[in-house]
């Protein structure tokens, strides 16, 4: 039987973490706010008892912990521990962040100015670069998996001009390790990708099958995130996955100008065109190259007039809001006010 939602509140998981409150739940498990030694604050994901009876789900859960532990970056949510407690429950503990998911911010703001989007994409590309260098392909980049952290800065950090917000990549639940020569290929877990991945941000080659995607699928998704944040609209919109798949396989993504009705500087149009090229051979070759190009876009856009046009809230596609089970996103860890960079 599946444990009653929130049933672990007050218990100790892994002999270390005192569970304080439930902050998210989904088909595979629940996420709790917990505290460890010296009041260390963590978000702890626990696999449901029913899910723990499925060897494939157990393998996926364990792979998430293993893969996340290999990515070291201030722009990726860090894992602090994982294991099985004496009751047989599998758990993963992540550092608990203060802030909000980019998806929550976009639901509230509808769209963001380029000045607000610029640091989010820069941070996320740095986190992506770290993951790719570690041989990890995320495969589920989207606003719900980008967390805008509200930082507590010391006076020294303030004086140094460090930003109050930092974007960090979450959830390596459907990620995979890049195949290397002489190494047996890992299970693709494609069935889970189809249900957990967000079709709205998925690269065309990924909707055909996730097993053979490479780093360029993550770049496509990041381009789609930037497009959504700037325009308030998805590159492709549809009421169901099949419509989105057909559009992605058939067409190149639209321009910012055709979507908003405003003229945008050519540098940002060219950048997103390359990030979201239908043919992955036409995209940037790496997150490093993409980040360098993005910073060039920011330099040029810093001298460009402000261009942004609000999208009608009624035009937002349902798929943008209903793409993932809540247990995969830690955007509900905490909430902050309306402060923006």
Structure tokens at 25: 């739940």
Domain boundary residue, one of 49, 70, 95: 95
CB of 233 closer than 8 Å to CB of 254: no
How many CB atoms within 10 Å of residue 238?
A: 18
> What is the reported pLDDT for 87?
79
Confidence band of 52 (pLDDT split at 50, 70, 90): confident
Is residue 181 in a domain?
yes
Q: What's the whole-model pTM score? A: 0.83
Over 70: is that where the pLDDT of 194 sits?
no
Q: Does residue 324 share a domain with residue 256?
A: yes
| Cross-strand bridge partners of residue 165 | 150
Q: Does residue 158 share a domain with residue 29?
A: no
Residue with tokens 């979450």: 170
Q: Does residue 232 share a domain with residue 113?
A: yes
CATH number at residue 30: 3.30.200.20
* Residue range(s) defining the domain that contains residue 47: 12-95
Give, as one character, the DSSP assignment of residue 338: S
Over 90: is that where the pLDDT of 125 sits?
yes
Q: Does residue 103 share a domain with residue 90?
A: no
Give, as one character, the DSSP assignment of residue 86: T
Q: Does residue 104 share a domain with residue 86?
A: no
Q: What would the mean pLDDT of 184-208 be, rounded to a whole number?
A: 62
Over 60: is that where the pLDDT of 308 sits?
no
Instruction: Respond yes or no: is residue 140 known to be catalytic.
Output: yes
Domain boundary residue, one of 71, 95, 119: 95
Q: Does residue 223 share a domain with residue 250?
A: yes
Q: Does residue 271 share a domain with residue 130?
A: yes
Q: Does residue 172 share a domain with residue 57?
A: no
Q: Does residue 283 share a domain with residue 152?
A: yes
Q: Does residue 181 share a domain with residue 53?
A: no
Is residue 269 in a domain?
yes
Q: pLDDT (tens digit, 9 = 90+) per residue, 74-109?
A: 999 989 999 988 878 899 999 889 999 999 999 999
CATH number at residue 154: 1.10.510.10
Is residue 3 in a domain?
no
Domain boundary residue, one of 47, 79, 95: 95
179-184: list long-range contacts, CB under 8 Å, 24+ apart: 180/135
Q: pLDDT (tens digit, 9 = 90+) per residue, 213-264?
A: 899 999 999 999 999 999 999 999 877 778 888 889 999 999 999 999 999 9
CA dist 30 and 93 (Å) reads 12
**Four-CA torsion 79, 147, 296, 306, nearest 10 degrees:** -170
Mean pLDDT of the chain: 81
How many domains, in total, are found in the chain? 2
Residues in the chain: 341
Q: Residues 140, 171, 218, 320: which is the catalytic one?
A: 140
Q: Does residue 225 share a domain with residue 86?
A: no
Q: Does residue 61 share a domain with residue 116?
A: no
> What is the reported pLDDT for 306?
53
Over 80: is that where the pLDDT of 1 sits?
no
């Amino acid at each position: 039987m599946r444990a009653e939602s929130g049933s672990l509140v007050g218990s100790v998981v892994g002999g270390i973490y005192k569970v304080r409150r439930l902050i998210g739940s989904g088909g595979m498990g629940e996420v709790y706010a917990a505290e460890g030694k010296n009041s260390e604050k963590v978000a702890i994901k626990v696999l449901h008892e029913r899910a723990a009876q499925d060897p494939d789900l157990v393998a996926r859960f364990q792979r998430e912990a293993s893969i996340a532990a290999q990515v070291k970056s201030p722009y990726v949510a860090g894992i602090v521990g994982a294991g099985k407690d004496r009751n047989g429950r599998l758990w993963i503990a992540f550092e608990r962040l203060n802030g909000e998911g980019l998806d929550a911010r976009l639901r509230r703001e509808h769209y963001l100015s380029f000045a607000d989007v610029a640091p989010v994409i820069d941070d996320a590309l740095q986190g992506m670069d770290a993951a790719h260098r570690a041989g990890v392909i995320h495969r589920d980049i989207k606003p719900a998996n980008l967390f805008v952290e509200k930082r507590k800065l010391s006076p020294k950090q303030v004086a140094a001009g460090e930003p109050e917000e930092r974007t960090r990549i979450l959830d390596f639940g459907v990620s995979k390790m890049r195949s290397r020569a002489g190494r047996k290929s890992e299970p693709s877990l494609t069935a889970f990708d189809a249900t957990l991945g967000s079709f709205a941000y998925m690269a065309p080659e990924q909707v055909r099958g996730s097993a053979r995607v490479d780093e360029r699928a993550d770049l496509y998704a990041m381009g789609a995130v930037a497009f959504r944040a700037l325009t308030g609209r998805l590159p492709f919109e549809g009421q169901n996955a099949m419509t989105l798949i057909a559009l992605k396989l058939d067409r190149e993504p639209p321009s910012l100008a055709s979507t908003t009705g405003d003229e945008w500087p050519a540098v940002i149009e060219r950048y997103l065109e390359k990030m979201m090229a239908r043919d992955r051979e036409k995209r940037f070759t790496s997150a490093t190259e993409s980040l360098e190009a993005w910073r060039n876009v920011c330099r040029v856009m810093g001298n460009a007039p402000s261009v942004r046009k609000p999208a009608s809230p009624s035009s937002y596609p349902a798929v943008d809001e209903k793409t993932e089970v809540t247990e995969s996103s830690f955007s509900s860890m905490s909430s902050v006010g309306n402060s923006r960079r």
